[in-house]
Structure 1
Amino acid sequence: MDAAEAMTALLSPPGRVDPYPTYARLRAHGPVLQGPEFSLVNGYAEADAILRDNRFGVLDDVLRDQVLPGWRGSPAMESISRSMLRTNPPDHSRMRRLAAGAFTPRRIAELRAVITAQAGELIDAMAAKGRDGAVVDVMAEFAYPLPVGVICTLLGVPAADWPLFRRWSADLTVVLEPEITAAELAVADRGATELRAYLTELIEARRRAPADDLTSALVRVHDADGDRLTGDELLANLVVLLVAGFETTTNLLGNGLVVLLDHPREAEALRTRPDLAPQYVEELLRYDSPVQLTTRITTTAVRSGGLDLPAGSWVLVLLGAANRDPRRYPEPDRFDAWRAHPQPLSFGAGAHFCLGAGLARLEAQVAFPLLVRRLPGLELAARPRRRPRLTLRGYDTLPATVGGSDTLPATVGGSDGR
């Protein structure tokens, strides 16, 4: 299997639904597979090193002009490209610092009560909807609304508008896939146009009436000094903060819950020991990463770690494969809730390590103990349906029956996940 064959397999419908068999085939050729057009990295140590190496950059505007002529004018591409997600230092460092204050460990810890309250309300609603044995879609009823509610609270988005973002995000995030069609880009552009229009109105509203939220803080920075944060950067970073702020966590909640329902012994242990949640979440992130790959391009010639690349070479870092590297993880295809210090690469590493990783972890650490505690009879009603995506791995629907439920308030008996 060469690099092109591997990508063909991964981008096929079966490969998108379950990439792990292809990852296993790739390992037979070593942790790095170098090809004429791009290289694939599936080893943990190699992936970690590349993500931390400043000779590997993301596809910023300058590089994108060279390899993707004609991208300008696409609202979806521009929405992503002007953000910290798709810029290199020093612009990346400047923008990241402006938003980082909202994601410090102290600020994230302060959100525990908000997360617990929102999760408890959603569980109550699911219990009521499924009381007579009706099937509920856990993605629609819990895995989506919890993280979107949390990030919207941070950004100051009114609760009445939260349901709007699921379609916009689903449309827009297709541009993060390694291959998209013209039709998919047209849908992404429509979603990006609608989302940008909404956020433009939110920016103006916060300019007129500032509030204690991240949007107001970024508007103040832009209005005080446009060189620190341009108008395009303000809008693009709000798009990415909003979309990335719930999309990854939504997938983590859906993927993780299916794993727990498939492992009832481990779910029972978490039910009685919510303090185990942090190590459970790390293993869930490793076992079925919500982000499966990321792309880097060499900014200079690189000769190390099994790679011999000229400047401008593409490298696809397969995070999901690295998280199952048997050189680091014994029995990597087995979910082991007691695995010591997995340290998965699901949120990346280095300069582009996910800014919201701590928040996503906290949401999952609160959510999983609450779900198994308060809905002890929760069971899959049918196999959930995967979204046909490779980069962002998650479920489209997750049908379940809730069975009997624990109707205690969400904060009773340590069920808030602490």
Structure 2
Amino acid sequence: MSYLDVLAPSFSFTSPEAFAAQDDNWYADTPIGPVTVRYAEASELLRDKRFDHGGADFLRANGVTSGPIYDWWVPMIVNHDGADHRRLRGLVARAFTPRMVESLRPFIHARAVQLADEIEDRGSVEFVDAFANRLPLAVMCELLGVPAEDYDEFSQWSADIGLVFGLANGGDTAARVERAVAGLDAYVAGLMDRKAARPGGGDVISVLLAAMAEDGTASRDEVRNLLVTLVFGAHDNTRHQFSNSIVTFAEHPDQWMRLRADPSLAGSAVEECMRWRPSAGALIRRASADLTFHGLDVPEGMIFTTAVATAQRDPRAYPGGRVFDIAARYDAPLLQFGAGPHYCLGSALARTELTEALPLLAARFGPPELPAEPLPWRPALGTFGPESLPVSFARV
């Protein structure tokens, strides 16, 4: 059986060794347990009701048994199933509607134009700070009604909370996540108090509070947890997806020029960027009982990692999928938003942001160019992308 050292600082789920493991079998052994590397088995595992999102077992496996991370993670919506999950998901769906996402499109476009203007004035920028972080942060703050003066503090918490899936990396990861959770929890609680004092707004918090008051669908603690989780999913993942997309286009400048020449490719270009280098490079699941999965005996409590980034280049699911092609069309759905009842509610918003912004940047600038020195990547486990991204855009 192939062995992948997923905790090594330089490990990548799109490395030659990861694809060699994929060619060898459907899973590989790692220091943290089995990792699914083929698409079919990964997709099946994400839908298999015998696996859940880990709950307290995932945290205990990483040395977390109490504190802010535990208090946020264990009651999180993804750790509920059945009637409880449907109740909480239905509550979020009241505020996170397709109409709401579409109503944000003019705001997204205007903010993307503003940020592109600033890039044009400078030419060379640190892209994470100049665009990748600022656009989804502005959108998330618009959704929640966060005032502009709080953006910077809010941004740091939102960035660090995404490290939760990488607790196994050690170092200061747990401390950063704990500070982020505690900060966001207190801040969101304060926002809820302010919105409750002035009911009737159209932001997500106001809508959720109104629903809570109307029929008692959820408690205040559940709404606060939902909001912190919404920040976790909708800002950090999208900012890394923007950066990952720019890195990918820097590696494939011909595809950037193709998008520039044909903006109608925007939708397929976004799907291909997410397939090629997803910000959710790995997802975790836990066996809820002793079971057998494709011939592998799995004891209750075993944590499985789904190598999304590897599986989304599996040629068995994506013929020719080890080549980046923005015009490609595949039948296999992406895995990075999960699957089944827990499919990410924020996927439409992420797609809208990327579809508005990437063709706009391609129309304004030549292909991005990266520095000669290696980029500082986040660890492969957890929300994945470069910590910083110095980039130059040629004027054309």
TM-score by length of 1: 0.86
Q: Is the 8 A contact 1:282 1:343 kept in 2?
A: no
The 1-side partners of 2:238 and 2:31 are apart by 35
The 2-side partners of 1:277 and 1:36 are apart by 39
Q: Does 1:229 find its partner at 2:239? A: no
Mean Cα deviation higher: 376-385 or 38-47: 376-385
- Partner-residue secondary structure (3-state), 1:13: coil
The residue number in structure 1 matching 2:37 is: 42
Q: Choose which of 372, 382, 393 in structure 2 pairs with 1:391.
A: 382
Q: Does 1:88 find its partner at 2:77? A: no
The residue number in structure 2 matching 1:54 is: 49
Q: Is the 8 A contact 1:15 1:22 kept in 2?
A: no
The total of aligned residue pairs comes to: 393
The residue number in structure 1 matching 2:15 is: 20
The residue number in structure 1 matching 2:148 is: 159
Letter in 1 for 2:384: R
The 2-side partners of 1:151 and 1:34 are apart by 38
Shift of the 382–326 alpha-carbon distance from structure 1 to 2, 3 Å rule, reads same
Q: Choose which of 202, 207, 213 in structure 2 pairs with 1:212.
A: 202
Mean Cα deviation higher: 299-308 or 169-178: 299-308
Q: Choose which of 86, 89, 92 in structure 2 pairs with 1:99.
A: 92
Q: Choose which of 86, 99, 110 in structure 2 pairs with 1:117.
A: 110
The 1-side partners of 2:382 and 2:116 are apart by 29
Q: Is the 8 A contact 2:94 2:207 kept in 1?
A: no
Map Cα deviations across residues 348-383 of structure 1 (whole Å, 9 max, x no partner).
111221111111111111111000111236433455
Shift of the 389–198 alpha-carbon distance from structure 1 to 2, 3 Å rule, reads farther
Residue 295 of structure 1 and its aligned partner are, at CA, apart by 1.2
Q: Does 1:348 find its partner at 2:338? A: yes
- Partner-residue secondary structure (3-state), 2:238: helix
Letter in 1 for 2:52: G
Give the alignment of 1:187-266 within 5 angstroms.
187-210=176-199, 211-224=201-214, 228-266=217-255
Shift of the 77–172 alpha-carbon distance from structure 1 to 2, 3 Å rule, reads farther
Shift of the 268–64 alpha-carbon distance from structure 1 to 2, 3 Å rule, reads closer
Residue 69 of structure 1 and its aligned partner are, at CA, apart by 7.6
The residue number in structure 2 matching 1:371 is: 361
Mean Cα deviation higher: 305-314 or 287-296: 305-314
The residue number in structure 2 matching 1:318 is: 307
Map Cα deviations across residues 138-178 of structure 1 (whole Å, 9 max, x no partner).
11010111011112111211222222223212332222215
Letter in 2 for 1:201: G
The 1-side partners of 2:114 and 2:369 are apart by 20
Shift of the 400–37 alpha-carbon distance from structure 1 to 2, 3 Å rule, reads closer
Shift of the 79–287 alpha-carbon distance from structure 1 to 2, 3 Å rule, reads same
Residue 309 of structure 1 and its aligned partner are, at CA, apart by 2.5
Letter in 2 for 1:114: F
Letter in 2 for 1:291: A
Shift of the 28–381 alpha-carbon distance from structure 1 to 2, 3 Å rule, reads closer
Letter in 1 for 2:393: V
The residue number in structure 2 matching 1:128 is: 121
Map Cα deviations across residues 269-299 of structure 1 (whole Å, 9 max, x no partner).
1112111011111111111111111111122
Residue 41 of structure 1 and its aligned partner are, at CA, apart by 1.1
The 1-side partners of 2:62 and 2:236 are apart by 26
The 1-side partners of 2:380 and 2:157 are apart by 16
Q: Choose which of 365, 375, 400 in structure 1 pairs with 2:391.
A: 400
Residue 300 of structure 1 and its aligned partner are, at CA, apart by 3.1
Map Cα deviations across residues 56-112 of structure 1 (whole Å, 9 max, x no partner).
111235x5687678622x212322332213333332222111112333333322222
The 1-side partners of 2:89 and 2:291 are apart by 26
The 2-side partners of 1:176 and 1:255 are apart by 18
Percent of pairs identical after alignment? Answer: 32
The residue number in structure 2 matching 1:285 is: 274
Give the alignment of 1:163-174 within 5 angstroms.
163-174=152-163
Q: Is the 8 A contact 2:365 2:394 kept in 1?
A: yes
Letter in 1 for 2:107: V
Letter in 1 for 2:223: L
- Partner-residue secondary structure (3-state), 1:347: coil
Q: Does 1:273 find its partner at 2:262? A: yes
The residue number in structure 2 matching 1:186 is: 175
- Partner-residue secondary structure (3-state), 2:321: coil
The residue number in structure 2 matching 1:299 is: 288
Shift of the 402–19 alpha-carbon distance from structure 1 to 2, 3 Å rule, reads closer
Residue 35 of structure 1 and its aligned partner are, at CA, apart by 8.5
Q: Is the 8 A contact 2:33 2:303 kept in 1?
A: yes
- Partner-residue secondary structure (3-state), 1:296: strand
Residue 331 of structure 1 and its aligned partner are, at CA, apart by 3.6
The 2-side partners of 1:257 and 1:39 are apart by 31
- Which structure 1 residue ranges, 4+ long, deviate > 6 Å from structure 2? 34-37
The 1-side partners of 2:85 and 2:100 are apart by 22
Unaligned runs of 5+ in 1: 406-418
Letter in 2 for 1:10: V
The 1-side partners of 2:386 and 2:91 are apart by 33
The 1-side partners of 2:258 and 2:31 are apart by 49
